[in-house]
Amino acid sequence: MKRVLVWTPILFILFLVQSYFWVPTYEQQTRGNPDRLYEYITASIGDAQILNPILSADSASSDINQRVFEGLLDRDKDLSFRGRLATHWEIYEEAYFYVNESANLPGMDPNSPQDVVRLILSAKEKYQGTDDPVFASLENIRDIRVILPEKFEITYTITQGDEESFPVSLSVSAPSRIRLTLKNVDQDLFSSLAQILGEDYFAKFDSSRYVSGLPGMLPEKQKQIAGDILPAVEHNPVIVFHLRPGVKFHDGEPLDAGDVKFTFDAIMDPKNLSPRVSDYEPVKSVDILDSMTVRIVYKRLFSPALGTWSMGILPSHLLNEKALAGEAMELRMDPDTFTMRQSRFNRNPVGSGPFVFREWKSDQYIALDRFEDYWEGPPNYRKFTYRIIPDQLTQEMEFYAGTVDDYGVKPHQVERLGIDPRFQNFSGLSFAYSYIGYNMRREIFKDRRVRTALGMALDVDKIIRYVLYDQAEKITGPFLKQTDFYNAGITPLSYDPQQALALLEEAGYRRGSTGILEKDGKPLRFTLITNQGNDIRQAIIAIAQDSWRKIGVDVRTDVLEWAVFIQERVNKLDFDALVLGWSMGIDPDLYQIWHSSQTNPNQLNFVNFSDDEADRLIIEIRQEYNHDRQVELCQRLHEIIAREQPYTFLFVSKWTAVLDKRIVIKEEGELGNVDYRPIEPTQTDNYTFDFNKWIKLSEQPQFLTE
């Protein structure tokens, strides 16, 4: 007679308890092994995908990249920018405009650039001492130069429709140009100058007069092409970074300006398919002034510019064309088609950050060692281990045992663990939100009424109450709820299954014989997917499936391993609908996620959202330096996205993290004195800001005793 083992819940619990006791406790680990005090171990539900900061787009990879690589700057505890690989920087602007030879300037020769300059300088005296904004713009001018007329040939690629493009050779005879060097970026400069030179001085500059060889096409198209080649005005913000001397990569090679330029070039190289392109496309040039100085010139106003240089800097000597060609030859691959994405560097990275990569065992762990030559001094922890533990219950058990040093408390545990005297705890409102995204390439999701109806049929309050134990807040759009960019005036979709049905009927769906809604004989059927290892997302797809089936939507669900989910489904745009989340920065730039140009494979607008006004607003937000105006634009963008419902916006979660009370900040003075102090979060509740100074003591320090 065959015996069958029945795997009951009781047996499962006993198995977990037994497994728990098989794991050595923290005390057992440190007994006879004091090095455990100097190793920090954290856990993740998913493995990293690619350890290269210009190529990665997942949170696990970013967790490692931020420790192995370093950028030119980051933000301090007060959210101000602080130097990292750069010690300091200057920001100014070079602005240009063409002399409008057809303008009417009273008492002056419109063809004389010198007369135009004299008019601007005399206006400075006229407005001197006034509160007029024109004076502020004029006072900001540091230098004025005339650029003489020039002739040149240019090849311009004309695009027609979505795919067709062809190059044309054009001859240009440019008129004189005025260059204004400004002390600070001034987005209102040309508005101010228009009050001096005439309201239409810039608007009526006809670029097409100076461009010949334009093919036969509509005059509007010809003007647009000529305007691209000879723009009437041009803002060119400039950042000059001064690099920190003596910084080394982990292999001992010095880091210099060439590596900064190489990193930018690698991002912009289309072969590399970097998801960071949109952050750096506004850059006109990256110029090496000397080995320790880089000058970055922008094509146009771009308010997020400074923050983008927190990107980790790559070592050019390991990834340049010669190095990649050599690697391709070793691997017996074609050097002409071999790209950075194929390099072994992505699994054996070399950066200049506080930790050195040591080992990566897929789906098990990533091990780092501290960088002894780190410019700021090596971290207190000698080792950093990133363990892959997909099961969250196992993570919890290992945290209690001390084999993992931190634990992200689940919503149902907050009431208990958030006040547990054994641990120090930190909490806040997440810089992330969760959503259901609809692939609008699919026919059923092209209709806004369908997307809205699905949102109305889902009781988000119920999810927050019963799945998240009230550890979340509802949201209606894509901006951080903690900022004023978020439009608090937008009302969340009401939970109204009957109204949802009415919307679907309006969209042409009727109940079929099976009870499923149909349109033109086709059932309203799709698959909702998410990733393994996230119990909350899996609960959401179960609730969504049940809610939508009640109104006649045939929903299948699938839970995929993280790498498959991202690489095969999301990056390849092969999904119907998904449950996912975004981690957000403070800056309101949403170009990568929401602009219609970012809808290709491996880009982040994978739901294929496209709206002309939204595109315009996204660009304006990037070019707006006035905070109040930026808020106004963001709130309008929020309104459009909320109306279109490309996502069903769900919630922003509250988070709680716990650490052993023996983990403290250790600082050594110049005289060798040691000071210990408690971990304190920043104003954005980031408690890991001083991680490089953390250490775990063998006993709980007195100042943490309650």
- The verdict on 606 and 696 lying in the same domain is no
Residue 194: name the closest of 125, 251, 116 by CA: 116
The CA-based angle 311-313-318, given to 5 degrees, is 145
395, 42 in Cβ contact below 8 A? no
Give 9's pLDDT tier (boundaries 50, 70, 90). Answer: very low
How far out from the chain centre does Cα 3 lie? Answer: 55
C-alpha to C-alpha distance for 355 and 369, rounded to whole angstroms = 5
More confident residue, 391 or 254: 254
* Per-residue pLDDT tens digits for 149-161: 999 999 988 876 5
647, 438 in Cβ contact below 8 A? yes
Q: What pLDDT is recorded for position 288?
A: 98
Q: What pLDDT is recorded for position 4?
A: 34
The DSSP call for residue 333 is -
Q: Establish if 337 belongs to a structural domain.
A: no
Beta strands 432-438; 177-182: pairing state: unpaired
- Rounded to two decimals, the pTM is 0.81
- The verdict on 501 and 559 lying in the same domain is yes
Greatest C-alpha distance within the chain: 112
More confident residue, 419 or 310: 310
- Long-range contacts made by residues 541-550, C-beta under 8 angstroms, separation at least 24? 541/579, 543/458, 543/459, 543/462, 543/463, 543/467, 544/436, 544/458, 544/579, 547/457, 547/458, 547/459, 547/497, 548/454, 548/457, 548/458, 550/457, 550/497
* Per-residue pLDDT tens digits for 341-393: 999 999 999 999 999 999 999 999 999 999 999 999 999 999 999 999 998 88
Q: Which of 220, 237, 254 is the last residue of a domain?
A: 237
- The verdict on 416 and 398 lying in the same domain is yes
359, 15 in Cβ contact below 8 A? no
Which CATH number is 674's domain given?
Answer: 3.40.190.10
Q: Which of 655, 673, 693 is the last residue of a domain?
A: 655
Q: Establish if 198 belongs to a structural domain.
A: yes
- The verdict on 57 and 121 lying in the same domain is no
Residue 296: name the closest of 280, 310, 312, 311 by CA: 280
Tally Cβ neighbours within 10 Å of residue 628: 8
Average pLDDT of the residues in 132-141: 93
- The verdict on 619 and 670 lying in the same domain is no
- Boundaries of domain holding 506: 432-655
Contacts of 114 (CB under 8 A, 6+ apart): 146
C-alpha to C-alpha distance for 361 and 212, rounded to whole angstroms = 61
Contacts of 459 (CB under 8 A, 6+ apart): 495, 543, 547
Q: Establish if 269 belongs to a structural domain.
A: no
Q: What pLDDT is recorded for position 1?
A: 36
C-alpha to C-alpha distance for 549 and 145, rounded to whole angstroms = 69
Q: Establish if 144 belongs to a structural domain.
A: yes
How many structural domains comprise the chain? 3
Average pLDDT of the residues in 413-436: 90
Q: Is the pLDDT of residue 315 over 50?
A: yes
For the ranges 5-14, 547-556, 570-579, the lowest mean pLDDT is seen at 5-14
Residue 649 pairs in a beta bridge with: 435
C-alpha to C-alpha distance for 660 and 404, rounded to whole angstroms = 10
- The verdict on 485 and 546 lying in the same domain is yes
- The verdict on 174 and 215 lying in the same domain is yes
Give 417's pLDDT tier (boundaries 50, 70, 90). Answer: confident
Structure tokens at 305: 């510019």
Percent of the chain residues past pLDDT 90, beyond the cut: 76
C-alpha to C-alpha distance for 674 and 43, rounded to whole angstroms = 30
Q: Is the pLDDT of residue 408 over 80?
A: yes
Tally Cβ neighbours within 10 Å of residue 184: 12
- The verdict on 38 and 187 lying in the same domain is no
- The verdict on 662 and 634 lying in the same domain is no
Give whole-number Cα distances, 432 to 71, 538, 593, 631, 650, in Å.
22, 18, 14, 19, 11
Contacts of 405 (CB under 8 A, 6+ apart): 40, 41, 42, 399, 659, 660, 663, 696
Q: Establish if 50 belongs to a structural domain.
A: yes
Listing DSSP states for 259-299 in one string gives HHHHHHHHHH-GGG--TTHHHHTTEEEEEEEETTEEEEEES
C-alpha to C-alpha distance for 75 and 85, rounded to whole angstroms = 13
- The verdict on 438 and 541 lying in the same domain is yes
Q: Is the pLDDT of residue 96 over 80?
A: yes
- The verdict on 440 and 360 lying in the same domain is no
Q: Establish if 443 belongs to a structural domain.
A: yes
Residue 85: name the closest of 239, 238, 263, 242 by CA: 242
Q: What pLDDT is recorded for position 13?
A: 39
* Per-residue pLDDT tens digits for 444-484: 999 999 999 999 999 999 999 999 999 999 999 999 998 99
Structure tokens at 271: 């072969």
C-alpha to C-alpha distance for 645 and 621, rounded to whole angstroms = 21
C-alpha to C-alpha distance for 260 and 359, rounded to whole angstroms = 26
- The verdict on 629 and 512 lying in the same domain is yes
Structure tokens at 684: 């954005």
Percent of the chain residues past pLDDT 70, beyond the cut: 94
Give whole-number Cα distances, 485 to 79, 594, 621, 636, in Å.
17, 15, 11, 10
Structure tokens at 639: 């309104």
* Per-residue pLDDT tens digits for 528-554: 999 998 889 999 999 999 999 999 999
- Alpha helical stretches, state H, 23-78: 26-30, 59-68
Structure tokens at 454: 């699905």
Q: Is the pLDDT of residue 231 over 90?
A: yes
Q: What pLDDT is recorded for position 160?
A: 66
* Per-residue pLDDT tens digits for 162-206: 556 788 899 999 999 999 999 999 999 999 999 999 999 999 999
The CA-based angle 350-352-358, given to 5 degrees, is 40
Which CATH number is 485's domain given?
Answer: 3.10.105.10
Q: Establish if 292 belongs to a structural domain.
A: no
More confident residue, 22 or 271: 271
Contacts of 543 (CB under 8 A, 6+ apart): 458, 459, 462, 463, 467
**Helix, strand, coil percentages in the chain from 3-state DSSP, rounded to 5:** 35, 25, 40
Residue 660 pairs in a beta bridge with: 423
C-alpha to C-alpha distance for 409 and 423, rounded to whole angstroms = 12
Structure tokens at 452: 């809205």
Q: Establish if 222 belongs to a structural domain.
A: yes
